[in-house]
Amino acid sequence: MTETAHWWKKSVIYQIYPRSFCDSNGDGVGDIPGIISRLDYLKALGIDVIWLSPIFRSPQDDNGYDVSDYRDIDLLFGTLEDVRELFAQAKRRGIKIMLDMVLNHTSDEHPWFLEARQSRDNPKHDWYIWRDGVPGTPPTDMISTFGGSAWQWVPECGQYYLHQFSVKQPDLNWKNPEVRHALYDMINWWTEQGAGGYRFDAIESIAKIPEAGIVEEGPMLHEYVKELSAATLQGKNLVTVGEAWSANIERAKRWSNPDGSELSMVFQFQHIIQDEIPGGNKWDRRPLYLPELKKVIGAWQRGLRGCGWNSLFWENHDLPRIVSRWGNDKEYRETSAKMLATLLFGLQGTPYIYQGQELGMTNTDYPLSDYRDIELCNMAKERLAAGWPEKTVMELIHAKGRDNARTPMQWSNARNAGFTSGEPWLRVNPNYVQINVENEEKQPDSVLNYYKKLISLRRENDVFFDGDYTAISEEREDIFAYRRENGRSVLTVAANFTGRPVLIPELEYHTRGDLLICNYPTAEVCDQLRPYEARMYLATAQTE
Ligand code: GLC
């Protein structure tokens, strides 16, 4: 593979959650024309690729992750014509569009499933995963990610179908080659329409064996991914990423093998679940222990070097806002948002920015009735029914609920943050009055302008791309610092993860070079980092 085939290694990817990005027609839901109207904003930010969460026809049970027609656009978001226009307008600005492909399941309203559920003899029946049984006794005790049994009884067939996610998201049967080829044809069709890449949703689950309790990483998984890659991706200059909660470094080497046999990179979560109790689920929280986080990030940096590629991220549409999670969204909101950005952008891999992260958008503290997410609402219903105190349930939601990241994008301090002229589908975070694009564009030291600077810095020196990673004082509980070296330059990144000043004599022991960027406006204090201070230095080797 040539280096140009790996163009995405030097890219920055921006994730758009279409229903919350920009509404052009006043129905309260973001849409494609809204995205087109903001392309100049994204161009000015400096990103190269947009990952678009699903825009396909969908009953919207899981906000589009339940697709009923992969080849058409949901009316909420616009038309196929709008998407063609988006591709063209983005291309004009040198931006590629990565579509979110949900291949593990469809909607129960997809014509394939409507047929499949008619009878056992229907030609589409085997396209989904069915098991015999009797009503009231599901074939296995597998639990759906969104609560309750993962099996649903269909009287017409006298069988259960499997749904790893909601009951409206039946799992496709990847064992059936017809299913696989129908999906490949559909992807190729999108590539012909002008898609620049794909994010593969829940791709680790396509080879599940329910009876063996295997959901992720089934034995046939990488065979299927290789087949998918050969049939749809190879030789087309696309950027691809697979969502894989189960990925470890060894598995990630397969997912992101530089020979291009699978995907460009994998979206793995080991770093971001460091504040969750191992073996539990996302609601089982524990305090973050910084040395452990650094160890995990360091291991991935070293582990994939030369034999895979990292996705760098703090946020997406399923995760809380990072400034509320690991920063301080009160008095140090801007400083800590910038600190976290600095740490991420210094690493090796392709950085992802989730919409609003570049503004330092925060979590919400709404009452339950203001939330919409199926996962969050089901969890609250189950736990309240089981007698959990309301206060505890609300604390969990405010910390981890997916709607924290899904509130409308904050464009200005006009009504509804300039997101819609109508009633937004999800309440706008009231802090939009201060935190919004218009304000941040005007303030030279805003979080937004800091992100712009980080993005352009990455383009200026190859050390960001190929520098070797070495941790500095990995055992310290207060700072996160590391070096990247490529024989020509040394990049040093140091950040204070706390709200108090800390001494950092370590910085004295390394050739620091010039200060590239810092999240405080006034000059640095040599061996001390102010609360949440972050700095990047670049030293360049003398040329002989
Ligand atoms: C992925 C998506 C999530 C969705 C789920 C089911 O995890 O990121 O938003 O609910 O898959 O498609």
Rounded-to-integer distance, Cα 30 and Cα 240, Å: 25
Query: 199: part of which helix (H) or strand (E)?
Result: strand 197-201
Q: Whose CA is nearest to atom 9 of ligand 1?
A: 318
Average pLDDT over residues 516-538: 91
- Residue 383 has which token pair? 């736990």
Average pLDDT over residues 412-433: 98
Among residues 23, 201, 358, 375, the one annotated as catalytic is 201
Cα 268 to ligand 1 centre (Å): 14
pLDDT, residue 544, reads 37
Look up 201 and say whether it is catalytic: yes
Cα 472 to ligand 1 centre (Å): 36
Rounded-to-integer distance, Cα 83 and Cα 165, Å: 28
Pocket of ligand 1 from Cβ distances under 6 Å: 62, 65, 102, 165, 201-202, 243, 317-318
The residue whose two tokens read 């983005």 is: 90
> Are the C-beta atoms of residues 462 and 486 closer than 8 Å to each other?
yes
Which of 490, 491, 493 has its CA nearest to residue 479? 493
β-strands 311-312, 350-354 pairing: parallel
Average pLDDT over residues 349-353: 98
Residue 543 — pLDDT band, cuts 50, 70, 90? Answer: very low
- Among 65, 101, 169, 311, the mutation site with the greatest number of ligand 1 atoms within 8 A of its Cβ is 65
Among residues 243, 262, 334, 373, the one annotated as catalytic is 243
Contacts of 114 (CB under 8 A, 6+ apart): 108
Rounded-to-integer distance, Cα 424 and Cα 234, Å: 41
Query: 442: part of which helix (H) or strand (E)?
Result: helix 437-442
- Among 63, 201, 241, 402, the mutation site with the greatest number of ligand 1 atoms within 8 A of its Cβ is 201
Q: Whose CA is nearest to atom 6 of ligand 1?
A: 65
Query: 351: part of which helix (H) or strand (E)?
Result: strand 350-354
Look up 358 and say whether it is catalytic: no
Q: Please, what is the Cα angle at 14 between 66 and 356, to 5 degrees?
A: 90
Residue 456 clears pLDDT 60, i.e. is over it? yes
Strand, helix or coil at 162?
Answer: strand
Contacts of 45 (CB under 8 A, 6+ apart): 14, 353, 358, 448, 451, 452, 455
Cα 369 to ligand 1 centre (Å): 22
Cα 201 to ligand 1 centre (Å): 6
Q: Whose CA is nearest to atom 2 of ligand 1?
A: 201
Cα 379 to ligand 1 centre (Å): 16
Residue 524 — pLDDT band, cuts 50, 70, 90? Answer: confident
Over the stretch 265-307, which tens digit does the pLDDT of each residue have? Answer: 999 999 999 999 999 999 999 999 999 999 999 999 999 999 9
Which atom of ligand 1 is found nearest the CA of 146? 10
- Among 53, 66, 146, 165, the mutation site with the greatest number of ligand 1 atoms within 8 A of its Cβ is 165
- Among 318, 376, 379, the mutation site with the greatest number of ligand 1 atoms within 8 A of its Cβ is 318
Write out the DSSP string of 348-404.
SSEEEEETTGGGT-------GGG---HHHHHHHHHHHHTT--HHHHHHHHHHH-GGG
At 30, which amino acid appears? Answer: G
Cα 320 to ligand 1 centre (Å): 14
Backbone angles phi, psi at 411, to 5 degrees: -85, -35
pLDDT, residue 1, reads 44
Residue 361 clears pLDDT 70, i.e. is over it? yes
pLDDT, residue 509, reads 56
Rounded-to-integer distance, Cα 5 and Cα 239, Å: 9
Backbone angles phi, psi at 14, to 5 degrees: -115, 125
pLDDT, residue 507, reads 82
Over the stretch 64-105, which tens digit does the pLDDT of each residue have? Answer: 999 999 999 999 999 999 999 999 999 999 999 999 999 999
Average pLDDT over residues 3-15: 90
Q: Whose CA is nearest to atom 4 of ligand 1?
A: 65
Over the stretch 210-222, which tens digit does the pLDDT of each residue have? Answer: 999 999 999 999 9
Share of the chain above pLDDT 70, in %: 98
Cα 79 to ligand 1 centre (Å): 23
Which atom of ligand 1 is found nearest the CA of 66? 12
Which atom of ligand 1 is found nearest the CA of 105? 12
- Residue 254 has which token pair? 């397969």
